[in-house]
Chain A
């Protein structure tokens, strides 16, 4: 009688996260701090992206002990990352009862050609995108939620801004097109035609699109909301700052009231130092996580 894992249930879960902040955590203590600060979900990881960047080597799915520890610590949803194309890591996370899987470029890809066929799973997936082509390819594979790729672990918002603006501008272009122009646009973007038609008809993406990859301050979070993000992922930005608790609370508030500049000014006072950032130009192309996946 009841249907599990339908599109509506998987996409709906992400709809409930709208206007919220999803925080990267590496243990139960951080997870509790995030929940207490008002996070709508946490992402359980072995290391935050900036540490993954610093450590180098192959980054894989987190040790299940950590994921379990986090799941037991909080009542909000718990997400976890699987490597791009790593069908088994994703199945393991699903079996563990994780609420959402991030098929993530922050980890070292397991497959350089194919992403996971996410429609096969009961658990929903979130995937990164840089433009509408990438966004619709992931939707075509069954992603129930999107996020910008940005450039993870840099504390630099510039790439997330680029990706969000690109997706929004291409959606506007698509909506303004006549039907007979859509197939050529699909060819240019490498996008599934049917997904483009659905977006054109709805006037928006059929799934929520969060900002991710470089959010370091309350103002960064509010900026992304203003550019059209449905919510915000914060990776290294919170637990690599001077005062994680204050930062977490301030970023949640700035996301809720992203157009209340007086309030953002107030909550940004005396937060201490944000995470140290990285200028994108100094990153060699092979060190750019956003180039992983297609």
Chain B
């Protein structure tokens, strides 16, 4: 069975695990970097990106996560996870993992009272996906290798670059598991590629 980890330092971990299991893969909570060796794909969940980054540094996760991505294993970042993947973060001198060629802005839709739900088409995933945005970031610019998957009010809110996937919203907070299933398929494909 495909094993997909969810970085379990902070945030909505259980919801992603449920979503992965509902999509037919095994979900594993990753708290130590050694566990990365057991898994075929990884989810960086929503939470507070500054908190997660501090804990990533504290537990020496940083290089291991970059290496995980560079060896061709898929990573899916939601909300804070999207920020961790970005090559550039508006207003920050240094971004985090810098695995995706894109510039993102934190809390770009405003504070909590501006948080919202909206129905969106997501390319290759769904025509009518109920997307939940919570103090969400959005993607300002993408490099040419990045495919835009969803746009809301002219802001890019989901994208894919090869084996990296990200969304500004929280697919794990609804019972619609199509986005998780899409990621599971990405992991399946990468396993075939890595094996050949």
User: Does B135 lie within 8 Å of A99, measured CB to CB?
Assistant: yes
Interfacial chain A residues near B50, Cβ < 8 Å: 35, 38, 75-76
Q: A9-B134, A75-B107 are in contact. Are A16 and B12 (CB under 8 A)?
A: yes
Determine whether B114 belongs to the interface, using a CB cutoff of 8 Å to chain A: yes
User: Does A75 lie within 8 Å of B106, measured CB to CB?
Assistant: yes
Q: A2-B117, A8-B117, A94-B113 are in contact. Are A20 and B134 (CB under 8 A)?
A: no
**Of B51-59, B67-75, B140-148, B183-191, the one with at least 4 CB within 8 A of chain A:** B51-59
Q: A16-B46, A40-B10 are in contact. Are A123 and B107 (CB under 8 A)?
A: no
Contact partner of A17 (CB less than 8 A), chosen from B14, B48, B54, B174, is B48
Interface size (A, Cβ < 8 Å)?
39
User: Does A97 lie within 8 Å of B111, measured CB to CB?
Assistant: yes
Interfacial chain B residues near A5, Cβ < 8 Å: 113, 115
Interfacial chain B residues near A20, Cβ < 8 Å: 10-11, 47-48, 51
Interfacial chain B residues near A76, Cβ < 8 Å: 48, 50-51
Report the bound CA distance from A3 to B169 in whole Å.
Answer: 14
Q: A77-B112, A99-B111 are in contact. Are A256 and B55 (CB under 8 A)?
A: yes
Interfacial chain A residues near B48, Cβ < 8 Å: 16-17, 20, 40-41, 76-77
User: Does A19 lie within 8 Å of B10, measured CB to CB?
Assistant: yes
Closest B residue to A9 by beta carbon equals B115
Interfacial chain A residues near B174, Cβ < 8 Å: 8
Question: Chain A, 1-33, contact with B by CB distance < 8 Å: what is the 0/1 string?
Answer: 111111011101101111110000000000000
A207 to chain B: closest CB distance in Å?
Answer: 13
User: Does B47 lie within 8 Å of A124, measured CB to CB?
Assistant: no
Closest B residue to A95 by beta carbon equals B113
Interfacial chain A residues near B47, Cβ < 8 Å: 16-20, 40
B residues adjacent to A (C-beta < 8 A):
8-15, 31, 46-48, 50-51, 54-55, 58, 79-80, 106-107, 111-119, 132-135, 170, 173-174
A residues adjacent to B (C-beta < 8 A):
1-6, 8-10, 12-13, 15-20, 35-41, 75-77, 94, 97-100, 122-124, 252-253, 256-257
The 5 closest A-B pairs by CB, nearest first: A99-B112, A2-B118, A38-B54, A2-B116, A19-B10
